[in-house]
Amino acid sequence: MRVPLSWLRELVAFDLTPEQLAERLTLLGMEVKGIDRRGTEWANVVVGELLAVEKHPRADRLSLTRVNTGAGEVLEIVCGATNIAVGQRVPVALPGAVLPGNRRIERTEKMGAVSNGMLCSGDELGLTADADGILILAPETPLGAKLADLYGDVVLDVDVKPNRGDALSIVGIAREVAAVAGGAVRLPPTDVVEGGRPAVERLSVAVEDAGLCPRFVGRWIEGVTVGPSPDWVQMRLLAAGIRPISNVVDASNYVMVELGKPIHTFDAGAVARDPRGRAGLQVRLARAGERMETLDHVERALDPETLLIADASGPLGIAGVMGGATSEVSDATRDVIVESAIFDPVSIRRTAFRYALRSEASLRFEKGQEFRLARLGADRATRLVAEWAGGTVAVGAVDTHAQEPAPRRIAFRPARVDRLLGTDLGIDAQREVLRRVGIETEVSSSVTDVAIAAGENPASVAASAGTAVIATVPTWRRDIEVEADLAEEVARVHGYELVPPRRPPTEMPAWRESPLAARDAIREALVGAGLTEAVTYALVSPRMLEAFRWTFEDRPAVGEAAAQGRPVAVTNPLSLDHSLLRQSIVGSLVEVVDTNARHAIVDVAIFEIGRGYGGEPDRSHEWWRLGLALTGAVEIPAWNQPRREVDLDDAKGAIELIARLLGASAPSYSPLTDEPILHPGRSATVEARLPNGDLAIAGVVGELHPRLAEAWELRARRVIVAELSVAGLTGGSLAVVRAAPLPRFQPNERDLTVDVPDSVPAAEVTQHVREAAGAHLQEATLVGTYRGHPLGPDERSLTFRLRFGAADRVLSDAEVDTAIGTISGALADDIGARIRS
């Protein structure tokens, strides 16, 4: 918000330089982002008096003037304006002057006459919006004075935070200045001279939903003369960043900046009459099919959730955002309706967003408005219209809710405030600090008041619990609701820089285990294995959600409900591509893979630890998952190795790495043929368990189905994906690693190669090996797979490395041979395997 200091000084006295004031406001939480010194651009512009105005002999539209600037020399200046006359005092740009926009003024010749400078309009100086004529100054303006000394101003650019809508006004900033300067705020006068028929006989207002419009105040002014505002008003509005329009409209904008109350003025002649002959205004929601042209001359189709100001013939304006062109105040306007209303902040914000119309009015409405401002704003605007445009103000006003609410009373405990802030201010100092921002207080030793401040039952609070203070919060401070807000206000006004740096009185624990230890360890392990972490959007398109929605709701999950439920839709999405919460991480990772492929990056290995979402009729829930996506080469070609494309075993290796990290058993895999996302012959469910039998890993792994890759036009045609539910992702620590002594007796290792049909999973063969080996088998690991001659087309060889050992002795070769024989026999009998010698 732009705050001209000349305007601010009318409302509060302060003896601070602009820099000092900016520093104090910033420390109060009103950050001053810049200081603009208006007038520094008017170099060599002074006040002159017109001594003569004569017609140019060679140009009908030019005049020859002689100007006295008080320097002893009369200047001859050629001017094209028609509003000048002898005796007027005007701004004169002398040769060498520099005007806004870096416009330089030099001595020139115009149609045979020398012009020693230029007479300036208000628009050329940036003082007023009038570009049609020369700026005529007051007769008492000092001759020869520098224009910058007379009309220059300092403007602070204040960043008002969203919770302080009351400070989006000169009065609001004046209250903040009074808190640091110690002065009193002088509120602008709002009394109005009234006459003629009462307003209730001229105007009627009907509000359909008081929740959307709690209060509407309307006033009537007849016989106005619409024209430019006084020059000082235009200068002040321009300094505040508001473009002047006309005296009636400028009065409403002036009040918006001064009091923070948006006001709208209607041409009363354009408002339809009710059966009693009164101008009938309605506050209602838009109806299906309604359209209107707003003041920016754009015709808009109105949404049924849009709150309107309307009459019997249709919409007149979008409430709290922008008026309509049909009731716009113009030069022909004679009677004016002044509207000052309170609207629901949420409704106004949604409407402004819906139509992309963030106006100065909507900015203030969406932060909430003080209830009494409706009447104050209407009276102040009516007074200014009558002063600047003339006319007669009708007696009284139409007010839909004249009874104003009482100020909020909040109990707080000074001792608690000091404890929160780490200060020793005490009761009296805190009360004085709050008084500086208009919060009156009274001391109470009532047990009930202490309990209210503490949020406890009075019966449970002892009589010696302490002293409470009752704060009466001004109606404009909507941001103060509880005891903690008052504590923050004490710190803010007393000065954050004066709060001593103290440690909290409660000792912090020396060490606390991170609840994200398991998640961080999984991240580090996968990055160490060569994968890259990706972070993708949780919001996806309906097409992606449908294509990558798993069908394994009934399969095991770790610490969560397995069912995905219905999709969760966003109420107000930014786009269709981000309208639903995802139910699978794989789709997002496949999109990352495809984006890389389109940029010629074909070797990709990524993972993401993210959330999926689902819903039930009565509630929604979320879950954490680990997703993997691999494509391209895992081994690049070199003189000593060929290129090797990623396959399912690489994803299984990453899963087994995580299982070891969690202290779980080796993962077991089962063929998966009914998952539409995955290749039916190259996919499996995976499961690993902790020593106590709880699930550590559960999910699916496999190659993306070729049909899905084709439907999505993926350049990376072969993509290995996995989505896993893993213990510890939602919060948990890793299993404690306990060191074990090295075995005293050397184990005995043997390799066993068996030929099995392709239809027999390796996991099933491994299980048979472990069951048949006996108690001395310590480990069975699949170390190799072979297909080709002399095997049949539907066969493969599996090589296992078996480790045998005993705790009390070295096993003999005969014992190991016996175990190998038992394993071989069991494999041959149970699954028809052939043992290779």
Among the listed residues 652, 666, 655, the one whose alpha carbon sits nearest the alpha carbon of residue 767: 666
- Classify domain 2-39+154-181 at the CATH topology level: Phenylalanyl-tRNA Synthetase; Chain B, domain 1 (3.30.56)
pLDDT(168) > 60: yes
Which residues does residue 399 pair with via DSSP β-bridges, in sequence order?
217
Residue 462: the pLDDT is: 47
Residue 617: the pLDDT is: 59
Confidence band for 459, pLDDT divided at 50, 70 and 90: low
Average pLDDT over residues 293-304: 91
Terminal CA-to-CA distance of the chain, rounded, Å?
A: 88
The Cα–Cα gap between 36 and 570 comes to 43
The bridge status of strand 279-285 relative to strand 203-207 is parallel
**Which ranges of 184-229 does DSSP label H, i.e. alpha helix?**
none
C-alpha torsion sign, points 734, 740, 742, 748? negative
Among the listed residues 674, 708, 668, the one whose alpha carbon sits nearest the alpha carbon of residue 586: 708
Residues 418-452 pLDDT 10s: 988 988 999 999 999 999 999 999 987 665 666 56
Secondary structure, 3-state, 730-764? CCCCCCCCCCCCCCCCCCEEEEEEEEEECCCCHHH
C-alpha torsion sign, points 48, 52, 57, 60? positive
Task: Tokens for 294, please give them.
Answer: 């707003």
Residue 514 or residue 304, greater confidence:
304
Confidence band for 561, pLDDT divided at 50, 70 and 90: very low
Tell me the residue length of the chain.
Answer: 837
Q: Three-class SS of residue 548?
A: coil
The bridge status of strand 532-533 relative to strand 604-615 is parallel
| Class of 748-835 in CATH | alpha beta
Residue 665: the pLDDT is: 86
Among the listed residues 263, 282, 283, the one whose alpha carbon sits nearest the alpha carbon of residue 383: 263
Q: What is the DSSP letter of 467?
A: -
Task: Tokens for 63, please give them.
Answer: 């005049």
Residue 44: the pLDDT is: 86
**Strand boundaries in 7-130, DSSP class E:** 31-38, 43-55, 63-68, 74-79, 89-99, 103-104, 108-110, 113-115, 118-119
Task: Tokens for 427, please give them.
Answer: 């009761």
Q: Three-class SS of residue 441?
A: strand
C-alpha torsion sign, points 737, 742, 743, 744? negative
The Cα–Cα gap between 539 and 158 comes to 36
Residue 466: the pLDDT is: 62
b/e for 636-673, b at 16 or more Cβ within 10 A?
A: eeeeeeeeeebebebbbebbbebbebbebbbbbbeebe
pLDDT(463) > 50: no
Asked if the domains 2-39+154-181 and 40-151 are classified in one and the same CATH topology, the answer is: no
pLDDT(315) > 70: yes
Report yes or no: 370 and 478 within 8 Å, Cβ to Cβ.
Answer: yes
Residue 673: the pLDDT is: 82
User: For the chain, which residues make up each domain, given as ranges?
Assistant: 2-39+154-181, 40-151, 194-399, 408-498, 517-726, 748-835
Residues 377-407 pLDDT 10s: 999 999 999 999 999 999 999 999 989 889 9
Average pLDDT over residues 490-506: 86
Task: Tokens for 286, please give them.
Answer: 């838009």
Q: Which CATH number fits domain 194-399: 3.50.40.10, 1.10.579.10, 2.130.10.10, 3.40.50.920?
A: 3.50.40.10
The Cα–Cα gap between 612 and 622 comes to 6
State what percent of residues in the chain have pLDDT above 90.
54
Q: What is the mean pLDDT of the chain?
A: 88
| Class of 517-726 in CATH | alpha beta
Residue 554: the pLDDT is: 45
Residue 367 or residue 61, greater confidence:
367
Which CA distances in Å does 272 have to 279, 380, 647?
A: 6, 26, 76
Residue 586: the pLDDT is: 93
Residue 627: the pLDDT is: 95
Residue 464: the pLDDT is: 42
Which residues does residue 782 pair with via DSSP β-bridges, in sequence order?
800
| Class of 408-498 in CATH | alpha beta
State what percent of residues in the chain have pLDDT above 70.
95
Residue 454: the pLDDT is: 56
Using CB atoms within 10 A of its CB, is residue 412 exposed (0-12), middle (13-18) or buried (19+)? buried
Q: What is the CATH number that goes with domain 40-151?
A: 2.40.50.140
pLDDT(731) > 80: no
Average pLDDT over residues 238-267: 94
